[in-house]
Amino acid sequence: MATRSANILFDCGRGVVLRLAGAGLLPIMVSGVVLTHLHSDHVCDLNDLITTHWVMSTTPTALRIVGPVGTKAFVQATLAAMATDIGYRIGHHDDLREGPLLDVVEVHPGETFAIGVQEILAGATDHRPVEPTLAYRVGEDEQSVVIAGDGVPCASLDELVRGASAYVQTVIREDLVKLVPSARLQDILDYHSTVGQAAATAQRAGVKALVLTHYVPAPVPGSEQEWRDLASGFDGIVVVGSDLTSLDLATMAVG
Ligand SMILES: [Zn+2]
Ligand SMILES: [Zn+2]
Protein backbone atom coordinates (compact mmCIF):
# COMPACT_ATOMS: atom_id res chain seq x y z
CA MET A 1 0.00 0.00 0.00
CA ALA A 2 1.36 3.41 -0.90
CA THR A 3 2.25 5.54 2.08
CA ARG A 4 0.78 9.03 2.41
CA SER A 5 3.41 10.18 4.82
CA ALA A 6 6.14 12.71 4.21
CA ASN A 7 8.45 14.47 6.64
CA ILE A 8 8.26 18.09 5.55
CA LEU A 9 10.32 20.73 7.32
CA PHE A 10 8.92 24.25 7.22
CA ASP A 11 11.70 26.79 7.67
CA CYS A 12 15.14 25.96 8.89
CA GLY A 13 16.07 28.17 11.83
CA ARG A 14 18.67 27.76 14.49
CA GLY A 15 19.09 24.34 16.04
CA VAL A 16 16.81 22.61 13.56
CA VAL A 17 18.95 19.48 13.15
CA LEU A 18 18.99 19.04 16.93
CA ARG A 19 15.22 19.46 17.06
CA LEU A 20 14.83 16.89 14.29
CA ALA A 21 16.79 14.46 16.44
CA GLY A 22 14.43 15.24 19.29
CA ALA A 23 11.55 14.33 16.99
CA GLY A 24 13.23 11.04 16.12
CA LEU A 25 14.26 12.14 12.63
CA LEU A 26 17.63 12.18 10.95
CA PRO A 27 18.27 14.78 8.23
CA ILE A 28 18.22 12.04 5.61
CA MET A 29 14.62 11.29 6.63
CA VAL A 30 13.46 14.80 5.67
CA SER A 31 11.38 14.58 2.49
CA GLY A 32 11.80 18.26 1.71
CA VAL A 33 12.30 21.73 3.13
CA VAL A 34 9.79 24.51 2.52
CA LEU A 35 10.76 28.10 3.31
CA THR A 36 8.30 30.87 4.14
CA HIS A 37 10.88 33.63 3.66
CA LEU A 38 14.57 34.32 3.86
CA HIS A 39 14.88 36.14 7.19
CA SER A 40 17.92 34.68 8.92
CA ASP A 41 15.98 33.16 11.82
CA HIS A 42 14.09 31.04 9.27
CA VAL A 43 17.04 29.83 7.21
CA CYS A 44 20.21 30.09 9.31
CA ASP A 45 20.65 26.33 9.72
CA LEU A 46 19.90 25.36 6.13
CA ASN A 47 23.64 24.82 5.70
CA ASP A 48 23.61 22.25 8.53
CA LEU A 49 20.63 20.41 7.05
CA ILE A 50 22.16 20.36 3.55
CA THR A 51 25.48 19.08 4.85
CA THR A 52 24.11 16.41 7.18
CA HIS A 53 21.55 15.24 4.59
CA TRP A 54 24.34 14.94 2.02
CA VAL A 55 26.84 13.05 4.17
CA MET A 56 24.17 10.65 5.47
CA SER A 57 23.05 9.72 1.95
CA THR A 58 24.25 6.24 1.04
CA THR A 59 22.94 6.67 -2.51
CA PRO A 60 22.56 10.02 -4.33
CA THR A 61 19.42 11.49 -2.78
CA ALA A 62 18.28 14.97 -3.75
CA LEU A 63 17.08 17.26 -0.99
CA ARG A 64 14.13 19.25 -2.29
CA ILE A 65 14.14 22.87 -1.12
CA VAL A 66 11.10 24.99 -1.98
CA GLY A 67 10.67 28.67 -1.24
CA PRO A 68 9.85 32.12 -2.60
CA VAL A 69 11.83 33.90 -5.30
CA GLY A 70 15.30 34.44 -3.91
CA THR A 71 15.62 30.89 -2.59
CA LYS A 72 17.87 29.73 -5.45
CA ALA A 73 20.30 32.61 -4.89
CA PHE A 74 20.29 31.96 -1.15
CA VAL A 75 21.04 28.25 -1.64
CA GLN A 76 23.85 29.07 -4.09
CA ALA A 77 25.34 31.51 -1.59
CA THR A 78 25.02 28.90 1.17
CA LEU A 79 26.89 26.35 -0.95
CA ALA A 80 29.56 28.95 -1.70
CA ALA A 81 29.96 29.63 2.02
CA MET A 82 30.29 25.89 2.63
CA ALA A 83 32.77 25.31 -0.23
CA THR A 84 35.72 24.67 2.07
CA ASP A 85 33.83 22.06 4.09
CA ILE A 86 32.41 20.45 0.96
CA GLY A 87 35.94 20.16 -0.38
CA TYR A 88 37.16 18.49 2.82
CA ARG A 89 34.38 15.93 2.71
CA ILE A 90 34.87 15.11 -0.96
CA GLY A 91 38.61 14.76 -0.32
CA HIS A 92 37.93 12.26 2.46
CA HIS A 93 35.03 10.29 0.91
CA ASP A 94 35.31 9.50 -2.77
CA ASP A 95 31.65 8.52 -3.03
CA LEU A 96 30.64 12.10 -2.11
CA ARG A 97 32.49 13.57 -5.11
CA GLU A 98 29.30 14.85 -6.76
CA GLY A 99 28.71 17.26 -3.88
CA PRO A 100 25.34 17.97 -2.25
CA LEU A 101 22.46 17.00 -4.53
CA LEU A 102 19.74 19.62 -4.29
CA ASP A 103 16.44 20.19 -6.08
CA VAL A 104 15.64 23.86 -5.51
CA VAL A 105 12.27 25.18 -6.62
CA GLU A 106 10.97 28.75 -6.36
CA VAL A 107 7.19 29.11 -6.13
CA HIS A 108 4.72 31.97 -6.40
CA PRO A 109 1.40 32.56 -4.64
CA GLY A 110 -1.33 30.29 -6.01
CA GLU A 111 1.07 27.60 -7.19
CA THR A 112 1.04 24.03 -5.98
CA PHE A 113 3.96 21.69 -5.71
CA ALA A 114 4.69 18.28 -4.23
CA ILE A 115 6.96 17.02 -1.51
CA GLY A 116 6.90 13.25 -1.95
CA VAL A 117 3.23 12.34 -2.22
CA GLN A 118 2.08 15.51 -0.47
CA GLU A 119 0.56 18.35 -2.49
CA ILE A 120 1.16 21.83 -1.06
CA LEU A 121 -0.42 25.15 -2.05
CA ALA A 122 1.47 28.44 -1.65
CA GLY A 123 -0.22 31.72 -0.72
CA ALA A 124 1.06 35.25 -0.25
CA THR A 125 1.58 36.75 3.20
CA ASP A 126 2.24 40.33 4.28
CA HIS A 127 5.58 40.69 6.06
CA ARG A 128 6.61 43.89 4.31
CA PRO A 129 9.21 45.22 3.80
CA VAL A 130 10.29 41.58 3.50
CA GLU A 131 9.13 40.33 0.09
CA PRO A 132 8.17 37.90 -1.24
CA THR A 133 6.86 35.84 1.68
CA LEU A 134 4.65 32.74 1.58
CA ALA A 135 2.38 30.57 3.70
CA TYR A 136 1.55 27.00 2.75
CA ARG A 137 -1.52 24.79 2.90
CA VAL A 138 -0.91 21.07 3.25
CA GLY A 139 -3.44 18.25 3.08
CA GLU A 140 -7.07 17.96 2.19
CA ASP A 141 -10.04 19.73 3.72
CA GLU A 142 -10.76 17.63 6.79
CA GLN A 143 -7.09 17.17 7.59
CA SER A 144 -5.40 20.27 6.27
CA VAL A 145 -3.01 22.62 7.95
CA VAL A 146 -1.74 26.06 7.00
CA ILE A 147 1.78 26.95 8.02
CA ALA A 148 2.17 30.71 8.03
CA GLY A 149 5.52 32.35 8.61
CA ASP A 150 5.90 35.86 9.93
CA GLY A 151 3.44 38.54 8.89
CA VAL A 152 0.33 40.52 9.66
CA PRO A 153 -3.20 39.46 8.67
CA CYS A 154 -4.10 39.94 5.01
CA ALA A 155 -6.76 38.85 2.53
CA SER A 156 -4.57 36.28 0.79
CA LEU A 157 -3.73 34.61 4.12
CA ASP A 158 -7.43 34.56 5.02
CA GLU A 159 -8.16 32.86 1.72
CA LEU A 160 -5.46 30.24 2.23
CA VAL A 161 -6.53 29.45 5.80
CA ARG A 162 -10.29 29.34 5.16
CA GLY A 163 -11.74 25.97 6.15
CA ALA A 164 -8.42 24.40 7.12
CA SER A 165 -8.27 22.15 10.18
CA ALA A 166 -5.31 23.87 11.80
CA TYR A 167 -3.50 27.17 11.34
CA VAL A 168 0.05 27.59 12.58
CA GLN A 169 1.06 31.22 13.09
CA THR A 170 4.18 32.96 14.39
CA VAL A 171 3.11 35.45 17.04
CA ILE A 172 4.29 38.24 19.27
CA ARG A 173 3.01 39.58 22.58
CA GLU A 174 2.34 43.23 21.79
CA ASP A 175 1.66 44.01 25.45
CA LEU A 176 5.11 42.78 26.52
CA VAL A 177 7.08 44.11 23.55
CA LYS A 178 5.66 47.59 24.18
CA LEU A 179 7.21 47.55 27.66
CA VAL A 180 10.73 47.42 26.25
CA PRO A 181 12.23 50.86 25.55
CA SER A 182 13.85 49.94 22.27
CA ALA A 183 12.76 51.53 19.00
CA ARG A 184 14.21 48.63 17.07
CA LEU A 185 12.15 46.13 19.06
CA GLN A 186 9.03 48.24 18.63
CA ASP A 187 9.59 48.01 14.87
CA ILE A 188 8.75 44.27 14.94
CA LEU A 189 5.17 45.08 15.86
CA ASP A 190 4.31 46.35 12.40
CA TYR A 191 5.16 43.16 10.52
CA HIS A 192 4.27 40.29 12.86
CA SER A 193 0.85 39.07 13.98
CA THR A 194 -0.05 39.65 17.59
CA VAL A 195 -1.77 36.78 19.38
CA GLY A 196 -5.06 38.65 19.01
CA GLN A 197 -4.55 39.12 15.26
CA ALA A 198 -3.74 35.43 14.81
CA ALA A 199 -6.89 34.56 16.77
CA ALA A 200 -8.96 36.86 14.54
CA THR A 201 -7.56 35.23 11.39
CA ALA A 202 -8.33 31.79 12.84
CA GLN A 203 -11.87 32.83 13.74
CA ARG A 204 -12.59 34.30 10.29
CA ALA A 205 -11.24 31.15 8.65
CA GLY A 206 -13.24 28.77 10.83
CA VAL A 207 -10.31 26.50 11.66
CA LYS A 208 -10.50 23.96 14.46
CA ALA A 209 -7.12 24.73 15.99
CA LEU A 210 -4.79 27.71 16.17
CA VAL A 211 -1.21 26.69 16.85
CA LEU A 212 1.02 29.48 18.13
CA THR A 213 4.72 29.33 17.43
CA HIS A 214 7.91 31.43 17.08
CA TYR A 215 6.93 33.41 20.16
CA VAL A 216 8.26 36.84 20.96
CA PRO A 217 9.08 36.83 23.78
CA ALA A 218 9.43 33.13 24.60
CA PRO A 219 6.65 32.18 27.05
CA VAL A 220 7.93 31.81 30.59
CA PRO A 221 6.79 28.54 32.18
CA GLY A 222 3.35 28.94 33.64
CA SER A 223 2.33 31.82 31.36
CA GLU A 224 0.63 29.64 28.75
CA GLN A 225 -2.84 30.64 29.92
CA GLU A 226 -1.98 34.33 29.40
CA TRP A 227 -1.24 33.55 25.75
CA ARG A 228 -4.50 31.60 25.45
CA ASP A 229 -6.43 34.47 27.02
CA LEU A 230 -5.06 36.86 24.39
CA ALA A 231 -6.50 34.51 21.76
CA SER A 232 -9.96 34.56 23.34
CA GLY A 233 -11.45 35.94 20.11
CA PHE A 234 -11.09 32.46 18.64
CA ASP A 235 -13.62 29.78 19.59
CA GLY A 236 -11.48 26.73 18.78
CA ILE A 237 -8.49 25.01 20.32
CA VAL A 238 -5.47 27.23 21.00
CA VAL A 239 -2.20 25.33 21.18
CA VAL A 240 0.57 27.08 23.10
CA GLY A 241 3.25 24.50 22.71
CA SER A 242 6.96 24.29 23.23
CA ASP A 243 9.27 22.87 20.57
CA LEU A 244 8.32 19.33 19.46
CA THR A 245 4.64 19.81 20.27
CA SER A 246 2.49 17.57 18.09
CA LEU A 247 -1.12 17.91 16.93
CA ASP A 248 -3.11 14.97 15.56
CA LEU A 249 -5.45 16.47 12.95
CA ALA A 250 -7.82 13.51 13.13
CA THR A 251 -8.43 13.79 16.87
CA MET A 252 -7.04 17.27 17.61
CA ALA A 253 -5.05 15.67 20.41
CA VAL A 254 -2.03 17.73 21.45
CA GLY A 255 1.11 15.88 22.44
ZN1 LIG B 1 10.89 35.17 12.18
ZN1 LIG C 1 10.54 37.30 9.26
The answer on 143 and 35 residing in a single domain is no
Report the domain count for the chain: 2
Cα 192 to averaged position of ligand 2 atoms, centre (Å): 8
Residues designated catalytic: 41
The closest alpha carbon to 238, from 192, 193, 202, belongs to: 202
The answer on 68 and 9 residing in a single domain is yes
Ligand with minimal distance to 44 CA: 1
Cα 13 to averaged position of ligand 1 atoms, centre (Å): 9
Last residue of one domain, picked from the residues 57, 87, 107 = 107
CB 33 within 8 A of CB 12: yes
Q: Please indicate, yes or no, if residue 128 is contained in any of the structural domains.
A: no
Ligand with minimal distance to 127 CA: 2
Q: What is the CATH number of the domain that holds 252?
A: 3.60.15.10
What pLDDT is recorded for position 4? 61
Last residue of one domain, picked from the residues 66, 92, 107 = 107
pLDDT tens by residue, the chain, 255 residues: 444 679 999 999 999 999 999 999 999 999 999 999 999 999 999 999 999 999 999 988 899 999 999 999 999 999 999 999 999 999 999 999 999 999 999 999 999 999 988 999 999 999 999 999 999 999 987 789 999 999 999 999 999 999 999 999 999 998 888 888 888 888 888 899 999 999 999 999 999 999 999 998 998 989 999 999 999 999 999 999 889 999 999 899 999
The answer on 244 and 173 residing in a single domain is yes
The answer on 171 and 80 residing in a single domain is no
Cα 59 to averaged position of ligand 1 atoms, centre (Å): 34
Q: Please indicate, yes or no, if residue 164 is contained in any of the structural domains.
A: yes
What pLDDT is recorded for position 2? 42
Cα 56 to averaged position of ligand 2 atoms, centre (Å): 30
Cα 149 to averaged position of ligand 1 atoms, centre (Å): 7
The answer on 72 and 4 residing in a single domain is yes
Q: Who contacts 225 (Cβ-Cβ below 8 Å, separation ≥6)?
A: none
Q: Please indicate, yes or no, if residue 130 is contained in any of the structural domains.
A: no
The answer on 164 and 95 residing in a single domain is no
Q: Who contacts 219 (Cβ-Cβ below 8 Å, separation ≥6)?
A: 226, 227, 240
Distance from CA of residue 26 to its chain's centroid? 18
Going by their DSSP bridges, the two strands 32-34 and 118-124 should be labelled as: unpaired
Provide the residue range defining the domain that includes 37.
1-107
Phi and psi at 216, nearest 5°, equal -130, 115
**pTM (2 d.p.):** 0.95
Alpha-carbon distance 227 to 235, whole Å? 14
